[in-house]
């Protein structure tokens, strides 16, 4: 009798476990379904479209969201789904980059999804929209540095962009979170290429530029590398910069020499170039 009761209990436990696994699998399969993904991403874009950015120059200039994301990503081990990277500004260097994702398989996003945003502008910005978003970075989000030990930019766009990819491969990046260090992987192609906007004085001297992503756990972007070919008064040259899209301590190296680093993010200031907007 005892062994029969024990066997019955074990069967019930196993059945419940299989049922739970099946439910999780169904939720996962349904959550990552292409049609569901389209609905969720369309809702993300609808939310972002309600925000414009203003470049706070002597004559303020409004910047619109680029309609298509520059990167599609997921990080299932961390519970980040439907990940997308978007930029504001369709000519020249983008004014800002925003990362959106959900932390579950919800099909309905009522307001802001989880996201982080970073300015790429040399001047202060102000976000304006109907959702009461209060991001207004008071300092530049991108301060370029001249890239030493790099060949001069080539004469044509195609050759410069080949050079850019080769230079990007000479960079490495890592992040450390709660004592756990991870090497980040460079995606093989840029997530966005651009050139000088005719009416953009902040791009003076820009020949070509590109954004490259260092990712964690597959394709989750953590560090964005900016590379730009510049026309100088005496010679052409390369400049670079990095920005964070995560809270961890981060570092980038060029030819194994430190090129950039930031400490762990512990602020929620809307006046910071990097800002985490809590899901709501």
Distance CA(38)–CA(33), nearest Å, equals 9
pLDDT score, position 22: 38
Q: What is the mean pLDDT of the chain?
A: 84
Residue 114 has pLDDT above 80, yes or no: no
Give kind and range of the element (H or E) at residue 275.
Answer: strand 274-277
Q: Is the pLDDT of residue 251 over 50?
A: yes
* pLDDT-derived band at 67, boundaries 50, 70, 90: very high
In whole angstroms, give the CA distance from residue 271 to residue 142.
Answer: 15
Residue 118 has pLDDT above 70, yes or no: yes
CA proximity to 111, closest of 60, 46, 186: 46
**Quick one: pLDDT at residue 26?**
36
Q: Cα separation of 255 and 77, whole Å? A: 31
Domain locations along the chain: 1-31, 34-139, 145-264
Mean pLDDT computed over 139-143: 92
Strand partners, 185: 215
The average pLDDT across 92-109 equals 80
Task: State the pTM of this model.
Answer: 0.85
């Amino acid at each position: 009798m005892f062994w029969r009761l024990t066997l019955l209990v074990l069967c019930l436990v196993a059945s419940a476990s299989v049922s739970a696994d099946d439910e999780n699998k169904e939720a996962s399969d349904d959550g990552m379904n292409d049609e569901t993904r389209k609905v969720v991403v369309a809702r993300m874009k609808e939310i972002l479209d309600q925000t414009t950015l203003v470049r706070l120059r002597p004559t303020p200039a409004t910047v619109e969201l680029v309609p298509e994301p520059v990167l599609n990503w997921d990080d299932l081990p961390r519970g980040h789904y439907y990940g997308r990277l978007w930029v504001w500004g369709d000519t020249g260097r983008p004014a800002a980059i925003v990362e959106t994702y959900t932390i579950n398989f919800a099909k309905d996003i009522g307001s802001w999804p989880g996201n982080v945003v970073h300015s790429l502008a040399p001047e202060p910005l102000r976000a304006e929209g109907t959702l009461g978003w209060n991001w207004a970075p008071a300092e530049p989000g991108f301060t370029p540095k001249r890239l030493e030990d790099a060949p001069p930019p080539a004469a044509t766009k195609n050759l410069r962009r080949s050079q850019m990819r080769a230079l990007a491969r000479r960079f490495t990046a890592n992040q450390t979170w709660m004592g756990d260090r991870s090497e980040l992987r460079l995606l093989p192609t840029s997530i966005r290429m651009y050139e000088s906007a005719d009416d953009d004085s902040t791009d003076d001297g820009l020949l070509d530029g590109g954004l490259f992503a260092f990712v964690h756990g597959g394709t989750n972007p953590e560090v964005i590398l900016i590379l730009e070919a510049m026309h100088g008064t005496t010679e052409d040259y390369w400049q670079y910069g990095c920005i964070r899209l995560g809270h961890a301590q981060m570092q980038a190296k060029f030819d194994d020499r430190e090129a950039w680093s930031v400490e762990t993010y512990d602020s929620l200031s809307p006046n910071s170039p990097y800002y985490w907007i809590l899901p709501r």
